[in-house]
Each structure stands twice: as structure tokens, then as C-alpha cells.
């Protein structure tokens, strides 16, 4: 998964604690995404960012905030963690192909979060 890095790889939180998941890319693409993966449900989109300074809600945004301060980094914040946010979180970038619209996404290695 070179090109998209996520930190931390693992995290355990207590209910009510806050934390920020970091995602960084060195591939110079505009669009970045945060997904969560739960057993038997595939991946679901939390938030996305079409470009630096812009963010939009996805399918399951409640309980999360995001920040895209520059082109390279896209962070996901849990202000008050809940057990329902126990999941594996994946950051992804959409591969720009110049004038050809591309829908292919490239994923980071994931962050496994447990909230007790």
C-alpha cells in the first residue's frame, strides 16, 4: 500500500475519548475518502474530500469530523468515541487520470479501532 499511509495501525479507546486518524498520500491526487469496514457489510463511506479545503458527508458521517488542510493529508476525528465506532477504517484516494474520469480508488492499509 505504498503511496497512502495511515496512522496509527491499531488503537484502543475508552468510551468518550477522542482521537484523530491520520491519512497521507504521496501520489498527488485530489480526491480522498474515509471508509469504515464492519463484518458482513463491506465498506461504507464516512466522508470524502474532492480537493484541498473541501469536505462532504458520505453515507455514515454521524460521530465523525474530517479535515483536509492540504492536498496531501486527510484526517478523521472522533470527538467522543462510542462502542459502535469499533471498526476498521480505510483511507483511499481516487486515481486522477487527467482528462479521463477515473473511478478507481487506491486504499491505505487501514486502522483497526476498538472502543470499550
Q: Which of these ranges, 19-27, 62-70, 72-80, 108-116, lies near other proteins under the rule CB under 8 A? A: 108-116
Q: Which of 40, 21, 39 is nearest to 111 (CA)?
A: 21
Nearer to other proteins, 19 or 45 (CB): 45
Residues 6+ apart with CB under 8 A from 104: 94, 95
Is 84 in a helix, a strand, or coil?
Answer: helix
Nearer to other proteins, 58 or 63 (CB): 58
Under rule CB under 8 A, residue 40 binds other proteins: yes
Nearer to other proteins, 17 or 31 (CB): 31
Under rule CB under 8 A, residue 90 binds other proteins: yes
CB atoms closer than 10 angstroms to residue 7: 14
- For residue 28, what is its C-alpha cell? 498527488
Under rule CB under 8 A, residue 2 binds other proteins: no
**How many H helices and E strands in the chain?**
0, 11
Number of residues that bind other proteins (CB under 8 A): 25
| Contact residues for other proteins, defined by CB under 8 A | 1, 31, 33, 40-45, 48, 50, 56, 58, 90, 92, 94, 101, 103-110
Amino acid at each position: 500500500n505504498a503511496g497512502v499511509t495511515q496512522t496509527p495501525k491499531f488503537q484502543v479507546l475508552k468510551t468518550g475519548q477522542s482521537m484523530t486518524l491520520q491519512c497521507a498520500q504521496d501520489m498527488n491526487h485530489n480526491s480522498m475518502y474515509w471508509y469504515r469496514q464492519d463484518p458482513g457489510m463491506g465498506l461504507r463511506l464516512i466522508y470524502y474530500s474532492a480537493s484541498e479545503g473541501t469536505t462532504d458527508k458520505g453515507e455514515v458521517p454521524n460521530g465523525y469530523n474530517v479535515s483536509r488542510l492540504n492536498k496531501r493529508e486527510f484526517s478523521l476525528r472522533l470527538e467522543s468515541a462510542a462502542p459502535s465506532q469499533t471498526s476498521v477504517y480505510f483511507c483511499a484516494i481516487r486515481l486522477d487520470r487527467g482528462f479521463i474520469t477515473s473511478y478507481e480508488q487506491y486504499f491505505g492499509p487501514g486502522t483497526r479501532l476498538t472502543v470499550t
